[in-house]
Amino acid sequence: MRKALPVFYDCHNCPAYCCSYPRIVATPRDIERLARHFDVDAETAKRRLTKKGEEPGEIVLRHKKDEIFGTACRFLDPEARLCTVHSARPGVCRAHPGTHVCGYYTFLMAERRYQRDPEFVAIAYNKPD
């Protein structure tokens, strides 16, 4: 049995930057999980909760307005900054950040120390080219 690596980030100290990613991909399995969570069929969940992505055949979660990032995943609680469907979240969210560190969290904590402001939020803007 492999020993788990320590984790060097705490999502509770982050404004949910990963939820602002414009492409939060949802697989058919993810849509089924969300459908069960909302007690609807998969087609209804797909229609209500997702939209076509940029890549052919890609399905992504819909966004809503967000005070910090402009837009964010529709499932982000704007006050608590936590996922409202955590147990049913897509696989890409379950796997994030994919390592024992989160780059944004590391950057954010450094900025908070530098600014001497434990509430400081460093915002990355997604500006069109």
Identify the three-state secondary structure at position 42.
Answer: helix
Q: What is the pLDDT of residue 124?
A: 54
pLDDT digits (tens, 9 = 90+) for 91-114: 999 999 888 888 888 888 888 899
- Mean pLDDT value across residues 48-67: 96
Q: pLDDT tens across 65-95, in order?
A: 999 999 999 999 999 999 999 999 999 999 9
d(CA 46, CA 28): 9
**pLDDT higher than threshold 90 for residue 58:** yes
Q: Kindly tell me if the per-residue pLDDT of 33 is higher than 60.
A: yes
Distances (CA, A) of 29 to 76, 92, 94, 100: 20, 11, 13, 25
Diameter over CA atoms, the chain: 49
Would the pTM count as exceeding 0.75? yes
Which are the contacts of 5, defined by CB distance < 8 A and separation ≥ 6?
A: 100
What ranges do the domains of the chain cover? 11-115
* Residue 97 DSSP class: T
**According to the model, what pLDDT value does residue 40 have?**
98
| Torsion over CA: 94, 96, 101, 105 (sign) | negative
